[in-house]
Structure 1
Amino acid sequence: MPSRMRHEIGEQPEALRRTIGSLLPRIGELEKLAAGARQVLFVARGSSDNAAVYGRYLVESRTGRLASLAAPSVATTYRSRIDLDGVLAVAISQSGRTEEIVETMAWARDCGARTVAVTNGHGSPLAEAADVALLTEAGEELAVPATKTYTTQLAALAVLGAGLGADVDTADLARVPDEIERLIEATEAAEELPLIVAELARVQGVVVSARGLAFGTALELALKLKEACYLHAMGLSYADLLHGPIAVVDERTPAIVLGAAGSPVLAGTAALAARVTEAGARAYGIGGGPALAGSSSLALPGPALPEWTAPLGLIVPGQLVVERLARALGINPDVPRGLNKVTQTGV
């Protein structure tokens, strides 16, 4: 029987249609809130933190604003005061009930920031406390590994980028649900999918790498491999990987390399895959078109989307690999050991 995780992967196109349709009309509201903001501060943990990495790259590469990731302990444990005048604080939480994230957003507001919440938790403390709440329309997510709540967060952050003046065409965002629907079918029909799963089932560790707007996808896929398959998965920018950790990639530790077609970092991504295979290791490509596929041992298709929206699709083949790999390893991907849907990290 299909797992709940696989069922929710399949729900992503419709969840994205609802979310994008709901949030695109709010670009003007975001423009007004962000007027004069010189910096964006993202507040998140777990999968939401990986979504924030996408948000950071989108804001810095397309809006001309500085963006950074918050360290919540500065607010909740050190209780430091920072001048956040002119800062837009964006708190991301699937449930909207993670106390650390709610408290950190309140701290940011008290320090002078304007606040935005990105959450699937309608009526949650995070949504109620923010100046603007971007509510995703993923519906209830029952599997512990985030799938549709993660991609709808990316959609909300894409709308946020447009509201901050990103040089993008929002029509690209409207194409995402249909493209993900196609990508799910294409990935499951790919001969390479069972081969990649079979090979990964024989290893204990894997490196997942990308750069630029796709980097958050690499981090998210590594997290899913750890959560649902119990692999020692390391998510790294390929620039950082080449600075030393490349030594861990060998015949027992393959690499998964992700890229967006048309990205300025694609040539480097393909070169990394080639270096991995030349060293005698296996490289599995996701996306990147012929350039990455030609440098990889095996490759899965990516979305036919421009770089700024490609991360919404790039994670999907990875989700399908994780779900199949977990079941191949005899693991129930819906309820990984030691995890709950809402994680309270304390202060």
Structure 2
Amino acid sequence: MMTQMAREIAEQPEAVARTLDQLRPLRPELARLAHGTRHVLFVARGSSDNACVYGRYLLETHAHRMAALAAPSVATHYRAAVDLSDTLVICVSQSGETREIVETLEWATAQGARTVAVTNDGTSSLARAADLTLVTHAGRELAVPATKTYTTQLAAMAILATSVAPDPHALDADLARVPAEMAQLIERRDGVDEAVEALAATTETLVTGRGLLLGTSLEIALKLEETCLRPVRGLSYADLRHGPIAVVDADMAAVVVAPQDGPVLGGLTEVAVSLRERGTRTIGIGGDDAFARACAVRMPGPNLPEPVAPLAAVVPGQLMVEALARRLGLNPDSPRGLSKVTQTDG
């Protein structure tokens, strides 16, 4: 019997296509709202935070706008008085009802910021409080682990970043190919069963990536933790090399997420080689032929250039997590102790 999580993974190509179509016309309005600002701050938690990691990298590498991830507690607990009059604040929440995120947007407004909400509910508290709302068109998501709400947030990040880029349409042809690439990955499921067996053989897991796909790595690590109930470390490979690699051994599985091109691919291939030399069960997602040879198991990624690859590169990881949960006798639709809307405090 197909799980709800599997159904919602399968709905992603259409959901992402809808979201791109609905949000593309908002580019001029986003550009007007951002005009005159010098800084961009993202506010989110959980999977939404991982989507913001992609948004930050895309803004900086493609739109040449510096961005950062804000700490909501600066607003909700410390109530710091800071000048945000030259700042665009992007608050992201799939439900739009996480009180911490709503309060942070309200605080940012009081500090002079211009605000954008990214949410799957255009009538939510977050949407009502923002200057402009990007509504993701995922449809209702019933499984607790975010899948289609996450990838539609990535679509919103792509629209946001391109709206303030020198050429807003430069990535449009590649974005148009994303839904078909997602559908192909879902249909083929290449390497998923082998990856599940490698992960099931150990309780110690590391997930690593870098650059535009770092958010994808962190999202896969989060999904493994919340859905399969396993402690998982998600790290940039740069951070991995600065100490944590010392604990990697043959008792561990490592998932390495790589683009098919771009400046970080060579380093990720070297990391995959190093991990395998330590006896680690190395599972690769994406990459090129050299990367595939460096991994014990490889799940192909999308045939997309690095700037838009994150919209589809998470799909093999989602398939792997859903199948691993079933392999372990767990219900991926309703992980222990979690609910669809999470409140940070009490």
TM range (shorter): over 0.9
Cα deviation digits, residues 51-110 of structure 1 (max 9, x gap): 011111111112222111010011000111111111000000000000000000111111
Matches within 5 A, 1:202-221: 202-221=201-220
**Preserved CA contact (<8 Å) 1:39 1:88:** yes
Aligned to 2:2: 2
**Preserved CA contact (<8 Å) 2:122 2:133:** no
Distance in 2 (CA, whole Å) between partners of 1:312 and 1:346 is: 30
Aligned to 2:152: 152
Note the aligned Cα RMSD (angstroms).
Answer: 1.0
2:227 is equivalent to residue 225 of structure 1: no
2:120 is equivalent to residue 120 of structure 1: yes
2:308 is equivalent to residue 306 of structure 1: no
Distance in 2 (CA, whole Å) between partners of 1:172 and 1:36 is: 29
Of 181, 187, 205, 1:185 maps to: 187
Aligned to 2:316: 317
**Preserved CA contact (<8 Å) 1:267 1:291:** no
Distance in 2 (CA, whole Å) between partners of 1:282 and 1:247 is: 16
Report how many residues are paired: 344
2:31 is equivalent to residue 34 of structure 1: no
Cα deviation digits, residues 4-55 of structure 1 (max 9, x gap): 0000000000101110110011111111111111111000000000001111
Aligned to 2:176: 174
Q: Secondary structure at the match of 1:175?
A: helix
Matches within 5 A, 1:36-185: 36-165=36-165, 168-185=170-187
Aligned to 2:289: 290
Aligned to 1:263: 262
Tell me how far 1:289 sits from its aligned partner: 2.0
**Preserved CA contact (<8 Å) 1:59 1:166:** no
For residue 197 of structure 1, what is the amino acid of its counterpart? Answer: V
Distance in 2 (CA, whole Å) between partners of 1:2 and 1:252 is: 32
Structure 2, unaligned runs of 5 or more = none
Distance in 1 (CA, whole Å) between partners of 2:22 and 2:8 is: 20
Distance in 1 (CA, whole Å) between partners of 2:68 and 2:200 is: 36
Q: Secondary structure at the match of 1:225?
A: helix
Distance in 2 (CA, whole Å) between partners of 1:279 and 1:207 is: 13
**Preserved CA contact (<8 Å) 1:302 1:314:** yes
Distance in 1 (CA, whole Å) between partners of 2:328 and 2:50 is: 25
Worse overlay, 198-207 or 269-278: 198-207
Report sequence identity in percent. Answer: 57
Distance in 2 (CA, whole Å) between partners of 1:219 and 1:250 is: 21
Cα deviation digits, residues 221-267 of structure 1 (max 9, x gap): 00000000011111000000000101222111111000111111000
Distance in 1 (CA, whole Å) between partners of 2:165 and 2:64 is: 9
Worse overlay, 62-71 or 144-153: 62-71
Tell me how far 1:166 sits from its aligned partner: 5.7
**Preserved CA contact (<8 Å) 2:198 2:253:** no
**Preserved CA contact (<8 Å) 1:43 1:92:** yes
**Preserved CA contact (<8 Å) 1:117 1:134:** yes
**Preserved CA contact (<8 Å) 2:6 2:322:** yes
Q: Give the 3 Å change call, closer, same or farther, for CA 47–242 of structure 1 in structure 2.
A: same
Aligned to 1:336: 335
Distance in 2 (CA, whole Å) between partners of 1:272 and 1:218 is: 14
Structure 1, unaligned runs of 5 or more = none
Cα deviation digits, residues 275-310 of structure 1 (max 9, x gap): 001111111100012131111111001001111110
**Preserved CA contact (<8 Å) 2:192 2:320:** yes
For residue 159 of structure 1, what is the amino acid of its counterpart? Answer: I
**Preserved CA contact (<8 Å) 1:289 1:302:** no
For residue 263 of structure 2, what is the amino acid of its counterpart? Answer: P
**Preserved CA contact (<8 Å) 1:172 1:305:** yes
